[in-house]
Structure 1
Amino acid sequence: MATPLLDPAVPGDAHAAQRLATEAVIWLGTVDAGGRPHTVPVWFAWDDPKVTIFSRPDTAKIGHLRTHDLVSVALDSAEQGTDIVTGSGRARLSTFGKVEKALDAFGRKYAPMLGDQPLDAWLMTFSLPIVVTLDRFVAWHSTDAGLEYRSLPSRG
């Protein structure tokens, strides 16, 4: 089990964790065989320090991940650019049996967006789980007391 990056007792960490739990889209950055970056919006489930994504198996991002496992993630900026959450780590292709906890969280999170479509039907198309384990996290958020900046792991 991976060690969480965020400390819920730290206000900035708690804020970032809340955004990661509730935001609908995270941007996933991969790199193609030639080193060209490729960034796409994806639905995701967060379980510190893991981001679980479900993808069609025939996408460019899956091809990239088969060659390069280093990725970046970022939420859309909020508060006119003063609320930022980004991270990086390694991605691995997985199976439904290995992501049951994330699958349950994902189903609860996106049920309103799926409407009448059952999650099982949606997963017939987006059938390949991707698990990103973050090893780097950067976030900042403007508060009444000033800017809360967090870079994890801290660098001495």
Structure 2
Amino acid sequence: MSDFADEPGPAVRRRLAEERNVWLCTVRPDGSAHVTPVWFVYRGSRWWIGSDHRSVKVGNIREEPRVSLALEDGRFPVVAEGCASLIHDGFPREVVAEFERKYGWDVSAPTGPGSKRVLLEVRVRRWLLAGTAQ
């Protein structure tokens, strides 16, 4: 099995560039799901998500890196399954610039005193598009 699943087609890549929210599902220590909408950038065959280092999703990923992501439109589903890594510093400049372009947001800026930003990097293992696993 390769590190990455095949890249989705142009229609899906266009949605990944334009859509603003994705639902991120992580696994809590008790095995239950934690689902939350997040801002994202899809670049370099990876999903990128910024978060405070103290968030529930970051704590969950520290223990269990497997995640699922789903765009909001249920009529034309785009779901990805993968593994998340936490980047604590040295965020890729291109990713920071893309968050700024897409949202007007500095993904590297702390949320407040004592907080730190982390970047979630999700490598896709499998795409589920319109109900078909790829």
Structure 1 length-normalised TM: 0.74
Partner of 2:77: 84
Cα RMSD after superposing both structures: 2.1
SS at match of 2:109: helix
Structure 1 residues not aligned, in runs of 5+? 8-12, 141-148
- Write out aligned runs for 1:2-151 (5 A): 3=4, 5-6=6-7, 13-77=9-73, 81-111=74-104, 119=106, 123-125=109-111, 127-140=117-130, 151=133
**1:93 partner letter:** L
Shift of 1:102: 1.3
Aligned-pair identity (%): 28
Rounded Cα–Cα distance in structure 2 between residues aligned with 1:104 and 1:95: 17
Give unmatched runs, 5+ long, in structure 2. none
8 A contact 1:44–1:52 mirrored in 2: yes
- Shift in CA distance, 150/48, structure 1 to aligned 2, threshold 3 Å: farther
Alpha-carbon distance in structure 1 between the residues aligned to 2:66 and 2:100? 26
The answer (yes or no) to whether the contact 1:5–1:48 under 8 Å persists in 2 is no
TM-score, L = length of structure 2: 0.85
Is residue 96–residue 103 contact of structure 1 (8 Å, CA) maintained in 2?
A: no
Report the Cα offset of residue 109 of structure 1.
Answer: 0.6
